[in-house]
Amino acid sequence: MKKVDKGFTLTWLGHATFKLVTKTGTVVLIDPWVEGNPACPKEQRVFEKIDVMAITHGHGDHIGDAATLAKKHQPTIVCIPEIGHFLQGKGVRNTAGMNKGGTQTVKGLGFTMVHALHSSGIDDGGHMVYGGDPCGFVITLEDGTRIYNAGDTSVFSDMALIAEIYAPDVAVLPIGSHYVMSPREAAVAARLLKPKWIVPSHYGTFPVLTGTPDEFRKELERQGVSAEVVVLEPGQSLS
């Protein structure tokens, strides 16, 4: 456990999947990919409950278990309408579609959808389906703490607007390179976002994801960015 004395627990389930438990016990699963996720510890693949599911885009490493877990736990699913439409077609209920710049309150938590620079096709059994735009989320907790989950993205200058408008306390940033930012771009993102804590994600899962937290720390230092990097192992939490 990494102690930050905040009223939440953010557990990395490996790759881009996170479980957020807020101080009132609300469970939010972000980008559900557990069964086929080689980085997800076995004991983290089982859930007592899921109240909310937040989905950043349609790639398999982000929605792989969305339909299965949604049918089992009946969470409210916060996502772009195209992903919601796709999941409804798979028999999922309670999709709460939204779009960028908007905020909705679900189970007492604020979900603001923000931009991400990536793609978002959905592989539906070998057939590519339109998944709308990829996105990130700023989640506002009961006590006002804000967690920015960037989703899969490159760095983009409008991250400065995310900082200006939402001033996130925690930023979850992909650093693995190849499909997402490398440590170099992620350090620029950190400079624009100015979070207190950064949790690196989307690295180490496959050989092509070459970015490492050590490199990321070096880049932050080289670029003169001060933020605490909280490196988790899959199954470990920031709380």
- For Ni ion, the closer CB: 59 or 115: 59
Listed ranges 25-33, 45-53, 88-96, 148-156: which one lies at the site for Ni ion (CB under 5 A)? 148-156
Q: Is 152 a binder of Ni ion (CB under 5 A)?
A: yes
**Sheet architecture: strand order including 52-54:** 95-97, 76-79, 52-54, 27-30, 18-22, 8-12, 237-238
- For Mn ion, the closer CB: 47 or 206: 206
Rounded to a whole number of angstroms, the minimum distance from the CB of residue 175 to Mn ion is: 12
Side chain identity, residue 229: V
- Dist CA 5 CA 38 (whole Å): 30
**Going residue by residue from 139 to 178, which x/- string records binding to Mn ion, judged by CB under 5 A?**
-------------x--------------------------
59: exposed, middle or buried (C-beta count within 10 Å: 0-12, 13-18, 19+)?
buried
- Dist CA 118 CA 57 (whole Å): 9
Q: Is 6 a binder of Ni ion (CB under 5 A)?
A: no
Q: Is the dihedral of CA 202, 204, 208, 214 positive or negative?
A: positive
Q: Is 31 a binder of Mn ion (CB under 5 A)?
A: no
Q: Is 59 a binder of Ni ion (CB under 5 A)?
A: yes
Rounded to a whole number of angstroms, the minimum distance from the CB of residue 202 to Mn ion is: 6
Q: Which residue has the tokens 């909280």?
A: 230
For Mn ion, the binding residues (CB under 5 A) are 61, 152
For Ni ion, the binding residues (CB under 5 A) are 59, 152
